Amino acid sequence: MSNSETKVRSSLRNFILALVLLLSTNILMGVVLINMSRATLREQINQRMLDVANSASALLNGDEIKTIDAQDAGTEKYERAMNVLRAFQDNIELDYIYGIEENTKGVFTLAIDPDRDDPAQFGEPILATDALINAAAGKPDVDKEPHSDRWGSFYSAYSPIYDSEGNIAGIVGVDFSSKWYDEMLSSNKSAAVILTMVAMTVGIVLSFIIMSQNRQRFMQMLLSLQKLENETKKLDRVIMKSSIKKLNLLPDGESEVLKTLASGENVKKQHTQAEDYSELNASIENVYNKLKQYLEYVESEVYIDDGTGTQNKAAYRLKVKKFGDRIEAGVASFSVAFFDINGMKKIYTHSGYEAGDKLLFECGKMLKETFGDDNVYHITGDEYIVLMSDTAAKEMKSYLAAFDRSIEKYNEEHRMENLLSVTYGFSVYDPKKHKDYRSVFIDTKAEYDKNLAAFLERQSRKNLRP
């Protein structure tokens, strides 16, 4: 075998190795992105389940729940609790909702079951999962794994019911089909796989086009390079400076392989090779840019709240961490505002969850229009948080006044529907009295609590008027 043929085969082998590494990185990126979006989606589904359980427990009278026993079936207090649970059963996408009591520590039985078709008996044992035990200790929680009983296989969310003295009087359990849960987690998998396959296909096609176009030139070049040994080092430097420098954007492994390909495994080159490899670099950059766009698309979906279109809890944590880093560096300047929609529980109860969700969405829309899409976060329930960088108190008051005008306009245009009422409070970071982000949020919440008390006082006086 001649020296030229050996060099051609070696360069071809390196080209194939570079292609394999490029496609492997593509596949790995797709797998990582799928897992990231799946984890975020799981967190959002769990939060939705908890929202249902928390809303139901908040509407139940703990003083009555703790006194209910088997003989109370049909009584007024029993029916009140039953009607609350049935409202959720009939209007929310869930499988079962029920009341639970803890007889002895770690032993749970069913107290109220609103199911019309196959209700469980009072006192029927309930499987004690970790989530249920946490709820009995005062912490709402969702099952990490599905559990099975005679009704099927479910993931369940649990929320404690409190009496007027703040003691746990019972627990609300909400069952969601494990099949539904798993389907929700897999809903974005197909799109991610398709996008990954498209990117892989583009990479393969571009690589073979480049290979077929350059193979003849590459072989002629290798034959000529035997006469140009004295120019090898000079030409290598020209190629590295003019074309291979763009490959620094790729991972080290791929970059080194493609640089080896460019230098022909220490084989000398002539000046026309620089132009050929510029074309190769352009093609690789094209694939890289497509993958980068795909990554940006998935990341944008990961940080958006499905129900409101605002930033979600994951995005909120990143922003809070950024503020924390700036505080430590002594360069922080930001404001925090907390918003809560008034009367949402009443709206959910009397007008249904569709009406409540519409108000929640419209409120988020107004906040985004006022403060900007990237500054509004929906954390849980009917609450929003706004995080504004480099915004002083005077500017915040101006923004809030604009927000108030948006609410007035909305209510004027929707007189025949549920009106929107929002209580809020805000605080501006002051390095003299705030040591961290949490202390700013505490001041924000205190301002909100003061404004809420004033709102409730006005409502009380209004209701007392003849």
Identify the pLDDT of residue 261.
42
Question: Would you state the pLDDT for residue 465?
Answer: 57
38 vs 24: CA distance, rounded Å: 21
Note every long-range contact of 67-71, with CB atoms under 8 Å and residues 24 or more positions apart, other chains counting: 68/99, 68/111, 68/112, 69/122, 70/122, 70/123
pLDDT of amino acid 301: 63
Name residue 288's amino acid: Y
- Pair 145, 273 in one domain: no
> Which CATH number fits the domain that encloses residue 126?
3.30.450.20
- Of 170, 185, 200, which one is at a domain's C-terminal end? 185
- Inside any domain, residue 307: no
Check residue 86 and give its pLDDT: 86
Examine the domain organization and report whether 192 and 169 are in the same domain: no
Q: Are residues 264 and 326 in the same domain?
A: no
Q: Which uninterrupted H or E stretch holds 430?
A: none
Co-location of 347 and 258 in the same domain: no
- Domain count for the chain: 3
Collapse the DSSP code of 233 into the 3-class scheme (helix H, G, I; strand E, B; otherwise coil) and give the result.
Answer: helix
Task: Give the model's pLDDT for residue 362.
Answer: 93
Asked whether residue 43 is domain-assigned, the answer is no
Q: Which domain holds residue 338?
A: 313-464
pLDDT, tens only, 335-389: 999 999 999 988 988 888 888 999 999 999 999 999 999 999 998 889 999 999 9
Question: Based on the domain organization, do 325 and 271 belong to the same domain?
Answer: no
Count CB atoms within 10 A of the CB of residue 182. Answer: 13
Rounded distance between C-alpha atoms, residue 374 and residue 387, angstroms: 9
Do 29 and 107 fall within a single domain?
A: no
For residue 306, tell me if it sits in a domain: no
Task: Please identify, among 242, 267, 300, the residue that sits at the C-terminal boundary of a domain.
Answer: 300
The CA distance from 60 to 78, in Å, is 11
DSSP result, 307-339: TTSSB-HHHHHHHHHHHHHHHHHT---EEEEEE
> Which of 249, 268, 300 lies at the terminal end of a domain, its last residue?
300
pLDDT of residue 62: 85
Which residues does residue 386 pair with via DSSP β-bridges, in sequence order? 337, 376
Assess whether 334 and 441 both reside in one domain.
Answer: yes
Annotate 7-75 with DSSP letters as a single string.
Answer: HHHHHHHHHHHHHHHHHHHHHHHHHHHHHHHHHHHHHHHHHHHHHHHHHHHHHS-HHHHTT--GGGTTS
Q: Residue 48 falls within a domain, yes or no?
A: no
State whether 433 and 448 are in the same domain: yes
Q: What is the pLDDT of residue 232?
A: 46
Same domain flag for 235 and 366: no
414: closest CA among 361, 340, 349?
Answer: 361
Q: Residue 364's pLDDT is what?
A: 95
Q: First-to-last CA distance in the chain?
A: 108
Query: Is residue 45 one of the residues assigned to a domain?
Result: no
In this structure, the answer to whether residues 194 and 127 fall within a common structural domain is no
Whole-number pLDDT of residue 283? 46
238: in domain? yes
Assign residue 421 the CATH number of its domain.
3.30.70.270
On whether residue 153 sits in a domain, the answer given is yes
Chain CA centroid to CA 324, Å: 21
Query: In this structure, are 208 and 141 located in the same domain?
Result: no
Question: Do both 372 and 409 map to the same domain?
Answer: yes
* Side-chain half-sphere exposure of 41, counting CA atoms within 13 A: 19
Residues of the chain with confidence (pLDDT) below 70: 1-15, 18-19, 22, 26, 30, 33-35, 37-38, 40-41, 184-193, 195, 200, 203, 207-301, 464-466
Residue 305 counted as domain residue: no
